[in-house]
A and B are shown apart, each in its own frame.
Chain A
Amino acid sequence: MHDLSGLIAYGSVFLSLALINGIVCLGLNLQWGQTGLFNVGIAGFVGIGAYTSALLTSAPVDGRFGGFGWPIALGLIAAMFTSGAVSALVGAATLRLRADYLAIATFGVAVSVQLVLRNAERVTGGNFGVSFIPRPFASLAARPALFGTLNLVLVAGVVGVLYVALDRLMRSPWGRVLRAVREDERAAAALGKSAARFRLQAFTIGGALMGLAGALEAHLIGFIAPDNFESTLTFQIWTMLIIGGSGNNLGALLGALLVATIWSVTGLATGALFPPEDQARAAALRIVAIGVLLAATIVLRPRGLLGERLGVSRHLTGTTKP
């Protein structure tokens, strides 16, 4: 019985983290899949959300900012707000320029966020990060299987709500304008739709979702450090979305589960196959493998596993074939 409890606890934490990555993928799908906006600084936006909620909800610590003891739900909302606000600022500065400039600027955001997380020790705790972040159902933490399962249900519930909301949003007039802007900006402008405004809205909402995912991760694990928000995360999220199928929310979630599984299995394999002194190099080989997988998917199967499903409106039952 004891073994089963451990397995359930491990499985539920694994699935919860995969689903949280799925939320980041949903955010990226709104930005890239639906609107065609680059974001190469995903880890930065996730990190901003994680730290916002962690600092607001944790207990006070001597010599560090934050520790206001807010309820977790308020922390999550604040995380969406700060990540969304930073997205809006970056978007406002760069969305009117060439597409690649947004990619470069978001990359700069990720670098700067890392810098602040590591160096502004009085606010972010520096390299040691923030610990003792309140966790949902904390009173049940002594029973790992139940605790893990309840957290998984919570995360799955959030994912479910977001999935339905995004699906409705995509079939709404707003979602149609996004795709119109992505496909042909001038045609959309001719119909009186301001491309810049719709792009900024999509980029901001996508960023807010990334912040929410970061905050959920912080509360699930109870501990965050700058290492969690390195560019490897950005790269994993892109791989998830591209493999799952950008433009398709179900594909985004499927890609998240698939890549998280590959990542986890290869991690177990390198852990078993390589001696401890070679672990760091073996971990590097995993990244090479995932990088090759991403590049191969872009070249060989650009639509991913599930390509975009073209729907016009929720008032029309049938979906048009691409």
Chain B
Amino acid sequence: MSMQFVADGLVAGATIGLGAVGVTLTYSILRFANFAHGEFISWGCYLTLVIAGAIGAWVGPSIAPLGALSIGPNVLAAGLLAMALTGLLAIGLDALLFRRLRRHGSSITAVIASFGAALALRAALEAIFSSRPVYLSQDLQIAIRVGGLRITPDQLALLGVAVLLVGALQLLLSRSNAGRSMRAVSENPALARIVGIDVAAVIRLTWFIGGALACASGVMLGLVVQIRPTMGAELLLPLFAAAILGGIGSVPGALLGGLIVGLAEAAAVQAIGAEWRAAVAFMILIAVLLLRPAGLFGRTD
């Protein structure tokens, strides 16, 4: 078996990992599985596309790609802006929907609400952009060889960005006051409120981080595959598999889980065929639920 799947799997795995971080944070702090998280990925990617197009329209067609990468500075700037906007989108959805459900005390129906929101968000993308695939970059990249593996400069850069983002988030969670507040709310919301933590602000921050990382994941995905309204929804099962495999609440666990799921998928694509890719995440999910429901770094409760 050729080892090429390692390169493809790592890039796909980093994409899944960035999305899974958001899933694991909302799950541990807001205590429900958010089925709309995949739509943040799609929305992030489409927002980047629109903003990059707008910058291109203002500046003119003379935007050169950055170094060896296929994208120009307009896509990079658009991606950063879209991350902020996707974070705000997540906060907005919470204010419209989930916050009201929390007030009713029925967090259990939040799962169904998120499922409905997911279809509405996806269908809205379809209504605006139609289901015709679009692309962030039309350039064809020549792969470079790294230790016997073929990998494009884009893919290398994406891997670096993913590790950087997750590392920064881990620092934020473990070292900053905001991170300590987040962990406190995750442990016990009532107790956190008693010691004076602004729980509403922590929840907003959680949604913002989750949305922003989902957008980053969407841009990574958009550079590798076609951009379509269903792109995020198709990633949802791998996201859940990665978050549960890593252990709910663990940010490094989510990234590691994502890398494992991505590598397993790439290996299966090489060994069996691309059409069965989506079954891999399901197998991993069931195996984890049966053998180690707490995941790699999760707490048993």
Which residues from chain A sit less than 8 Å from chain B, CB to CB?
A: 36, 38, 40, 93-94, 97, 99-101, 103-105, 107-109, 111-112, 115, 118-119, 231-232, 234-235, 238-239, 242, 280-282, 284-288, 290-292, 294-295, 298-299, 302
Q: B226: which A residues are within 8 A, CB to CB?
A: none
**One of B101, B111, B278, B293 near A97 (C-beta < 8 A):** B293
B178 CB, min distance to chain A CBs, angstroms: 26
Q: A238: which B residues are within 8 A, CB to CB?
A: 112, 115-116
Q: What are 19 inter-chain pairs, A to B, with CB distance below 8 A?
A: A40-B111, A40-B115, A101-B289, A107-B240, A108-B282, A231-B119, A231-B233, A234-B115, A235-B115, A282-B127, A288-B124, A290-B119, A294-B112, A295-B96, A295-B117, A295-B120, A298-B112, A299-B100, A299-B104
What separation, in Å, do the CA atoms of A155 and B57 have in the docked complex? Answer: 58
What separation, in Å, do the CA atoms of A119 and B277 have in the docked complex? Answer: 11
Is B279 engaged at the interface, CB distance under 8 Å to the other chain?
Answer: yes
Contact status A292-B120, CB under 8 Å? yes
Contact status A100-B111, CB under 8 Å? yes
- Known contacts A108-B237, A291-B117: A299-B101 contact under CB 8 Å: yes
Q: B275: which A residues are within 8 A, CB to CB?
A: 115, 118-119
Is B174 engaged at the interface, CB distance under 8 Å to the other chain?
Answer: no
Q: A299: which B residues are within 8 A, CB to CB?
A: 97, 100-101, 104, 113
Contact status A107-B35, CB under 8 Å? yes
Residue in chain B with minimal CB distance to A238: B112
Contact status A107-B237, CB under 8 Å? yes
B58 CB, min distance to chain A CBs, angstroms: 28
What separation, in Å, do the CA atoms of A100 and B27 have in the docked complex? Answer: 10
What separation, in Å, do the CA atoms of A231 and B293 have in the docked complex? Answer: 26
Is B209 engaged at the interface, CB distance under 8 Å to the other chain?
Answer: no
What separation, in Å, do the CA atoms of A282 and B123 have in the docked complex? Answer: 10
Contact status A115-B276, CB under 8 Å? yes
B147 CB, min distance to chain A CBs, angstroms: 34
Contact status B111-A105, CB under 8 Å? no
A44 CB, min distance to chain B CBs, angstroms: 11
**One of A38, A239, A295 near B97 (C-beta < 8 A):** A295
**One of A103, A231, A302 near B33 (C-beta < 8 A):** A103
Is B4 engaged at the interface, CB distance under 8 Å to the other chain?
Answer: no
Contact status A40-B35, CB under 8 Å? yes
Contact with A along B203-245 (1 / 0, CB 8 A): 0000000000000000000000000000001001100110010
Which residues from chain B sit less than 8 Å from chain A, CB to CB?
A: 27, 32-33, 35, 96-97, 100-101, 104, 106, 108-109, 111-113, 115-117, 119-120, 122-124, 126-127, 130-131, 233, 236-237, 240-241, 244, 275-276, 278-279, 281-282, 285-286, 289-290, 293
Q: B244: which A residues are within 8 A, CB to CB?
A: 101, 104
What separation, in Å, do the CA atoms of A100 and B86 have in the docked complex? Answer: 25
Residue in chain A with minimal CB distance to B277: A115
Q: A232: which B residues are within 8 A, CB to CB?
A: 119
- Known contacts A38-B111, A288-B124: A104-B285 contact under CB 8 Å: yes
Residue in chain A with minimal CB distance to B112: A238
Q: B27: which A residues are within 8 A, CB to CB?
A: 100
What separation, in Å, do the CA atoms of A10 and B275 have in the docked complex? Answer: 38
Q: B278: which A residues are within 8 A, CB to CB?
A: 111-112, 115
A88 CB, min distance to chain B CBs, angstroms: 14
What separation, in Å, do the CA atoms of A101 and B236 have in the docked complex? Answer: 14
Contact status A108-B33, CB under 8 Å? no
Q: A111: which B residues are within 8 A, CB to CB?
A: 237, 278, 282
- Known contacts A40-B35, A295-B120, A298-B112: A284-B127 contact under CB 8 Å: yes
Q: B104: which A residues are within 8 A, CB to CB?
A: 299, 302
Contact status A115-B279, CB under 8 Å? yes
Contact status B293-A101, CB under 8 Å? yes
- Known contacts A93-B289, A112-B278, A288-B123: A235-B33 contact under CB 8 Å: no
Residue in chain B with minimal CB distance to A278: B130
Residue in chain B with minimal CB distance to A92: B290
B19 CB, min distance to chain A CBs, angstroms: 14
B129 CB, min distance to chain A CBs, angstroms: 9
**One of B32, B113, B241 near A298 (C-beta < 8 A):** B113
What separation, in Å, do the CA atoms of A281 and B244 have in the docked complex? Answer: 35
**One of A93, A101, A108 near B281 (C-beta < 8 A):** A108
Those 6 A-B pairs whose CB atoms lie nearest each other, nearest first: A291-B120, A287-B123, A284-B126, A294-B116, A100-B33, A284-B123
A32 CB, min distance to chain B CBs, angstroms: 8
A247 CB, min distance to chain B CBs, angstroms: 13
Residue in chain A with minimal CB distance to B229: A284
What separation, in Å, do the CA atoms of A299 and B99 have in the docked complex? Answer: 10
- Known contacts A97-B293, A112-B278, A112-B282: A103-B111 contact under CB 8 Å: yes
Q: B127: which A residues are within 8 A, CB to CB?
A: 281-282, 284-285, 288
**One of A100, A105, A281, A298 near B126 (C-beta < 8 A):** A281
Contact status A298-B101, CB under 8 Å? yes
Q: A294: which B residues are within 8 A, CB to CB?
A: 112-113, 116
A295 CB, min distance to chain B CBs, angstroms: 5
Contact status B119-A291, CB under 8 Å? yes
Contact status B113-A108, CB under 8 Å? no
